[in-house]
Homo-oligomer: A and B are copies of this chain.
């Protein structure tokens, strides 16, 4: 070829501006339509674009700006793009067309019915982790894997690939026990009791929990009304070394970062597949350094797992895939037809769990029973009780006050035990007719709790006064809405009034 071209590095240099626009984890770059770079490169809205500084380079989606939001020589960054590019002061960037993301051809192959090899899955997961997949591309990957289209081998490979992204913890103890709940059941806040009981029995359980994404409270939200949960890894290690257990937020630890990206898109689509679910849970547990995991799987018509067939299939998958990544997994199928405990929302759930830990005579019996059952399974797996004897040991640790003592010690190590707040605004809803409480719509109840402000308003939520199957008299209190503002209370009440209370009372 003739005509050597001069080096063009430094052309279309762009000043970087943080736009202050939160698009969750989707990196967006904003450029003026009339900027030199848009005109020269032919960039159009929603195009994929590579933005690079001297030190870093990201792939982002382009939004084209026509108004006075930016100067012509500026590149605006969404919060996610800002985090990924992490520019230093005064640093400049340049924009280019990105090279095609190679692993997307494997996704297209999967769409056309090919199996994904471990190498291809590893590449996909690395690209997702690096933010090289747009949400639309991630959705295509998830959809191609859904509907039971993932083989056992693919699920194992996905679990391993997710495991190898992000940090992996190791502990100078063995075994490391853990428990996990496959969500969908409001108020099912057994983790604090399980941790307190099994740590009191001398097992090591470095428990990380998530905040709510679509629910009224995650375990981390509930624990946060009782004690600080945003510990970094060093602080978490100190708590675990001292007390044998912790109850912290997992987001500060940095394990399995891919999972967050995939889960967010799955929630937007409102589906997940067994394979994705198994890979998500198991990669997180293995990354946390766990060796023995008990999985609480509520089964019921409005829970996440809705049928016995699905429960059986998913249980087998989790056990088998767990074994392949070095995890002993035991699945406990539990009743998913009704909420557990009385409170739905961080502080209301914290009150329930304190009652259970303190052996208060008014403690919700279902929450106590379920906590004991799960702790029993962990105690048996961890070798502290022989098969069948776990329940007695768990109940004894609870009733003797040793679990409560351990819980207080863990909270003290995390920064101190606090008293849960009470909501300033409450409204009681009474039964307009008598009968029997025949059904509870968990999803709707969760919605009402969220509309009342949970989990952002920690005192907000729903307090349930009646249990499934019980006889109801006209005028009997059914539930109380709790809110931190009059507006939120009215809003949740209006929703409940208009669409029904999520409780089916049969005459």
A137 proximal to B (CB < 8 A) = yes
The closest CB in chain B to the CB of A431 belongs to B1
Q: Is the CB of B139 within 8 A of A140?
A: yes
Given A42-B456, A45-B22, A112-B146, are A430 and B5 also a contact pair (CB < 8 Å)? no
Q: Kindly list chain B residues whose C-beta atoms are within 8 Å of the C-beta of A271.
A: 108, 111
Q: In the complex the two chains form, what is the Cα distance from A472 to B107 in whole Å?
A: 40
A159 to nearest B CB, angstroms? 21
A430 CA to B267 CA, complexed, in Å:
55
- With A429-B3, A432-B1 known to touch, is A111 a contact of B490 (CB < 8 Å)? no
Which residue among A18, A134, A138, A143 has the maximum number of chain B CB atoms within 10 Å of its CB?
A143
Which of A65-73, A348-356, A411-419 lies on the face that meets chain B? A65-73
Contact A137 B268 (CB under 8 A): yes
Bound form: Cα–Cα A104–B271 in Å? 10
Complex CA distance for A357 and B490, rounded to whole angstroms = 72
Category for how many chain A residues contact B: 35 or more
Q: A237 vs B30: C-alpha distance in the bound complex, in angstroms?
A: 40
Question: What is the CB-to-nearest-CB distance from A199 to chain B, in angstroms, rounded to a whole number?
Answer: 33
Give a binary string over A255-269; 1 marks a CB under 8 Å from any B CB, 0 the rest: 000000000110011
Residue of B nearest to A493 (CB): B5
What residues on B are CB-neighbors of A65 within 8 Å? 20-22
Residue in B4, B18, B40, B137 whose beta carbon sits within 8 Å of that of A269 in the complex = B137
Question: With A5-B493, A143-B143, A264-B46 known to touch, is A69 a contact of B66 (CB < 8 Å)?
Answer: no
Q: Does A238 contact B (CB under 8 A)?
A: no
Answer whether A268 and B139 are a contact pair too, CB < 8 Å, given A19-B67, A497-B1: no
Residue on B with the closest CB to A25?
A: B46
Kindly identify, within residues 13 to 46 of chain A, every residue whose CB is under 8 Å from any CB belonging to chain B: 18-24, 26, 30, 33, 36, 39-42, 44-46
A69-B69, A268-B134, A271-B111 are contacts. A22–B63 as well, Cβ < 8 Å? yes
Contact A24/B1 with A137-B269, A140-B139, A271-B111 known, Cβ cut-off 8 Å: no
CB within 8 Å for A39 and B1 given contacts A19-B69, A143-B144: no
Contact yes or no, A8 B491, CB < 8 A:
yes
User: Interface centre among A79, A135, A140, A269, by most B CB within 10 Å?
Assistant: A140
- A1 and B39 CA atoms in complex are apart in Å by 62
Q: Is the CB of B23 within 8 A of A46?
A: yes
Q: Which residues of chain B come closer than 8 Å to A454, judged between CB atoms?
A: 42
Judge if A427 is at the interface, Cβ distance under 8 Å: yes
Q: Is A406 an interface residue (CB 8 A)?
A: no
Residues of B close to A6: CB separation below 8 A: 490
5 nearest A-B pairs in the assembled complex, by CB-CB distance: A20-B67, A143-B143, A139-B139, A22-B64, A24-B46
Interface positions of A (Cβ within 8 A of B) = 1-6, 8, 11, 18-24, 26, 30, 33, 36, 39-42, 44-46, 48, 63-69, 78-79, 97, 100, 104, 108, 111-113, 134-140, 142-144, 146-148, 264-265, 268-271, 427-430, 432, 450-451, 453-454, 456, 485, 487-488, 490-491, 493-494, 496-497, 501
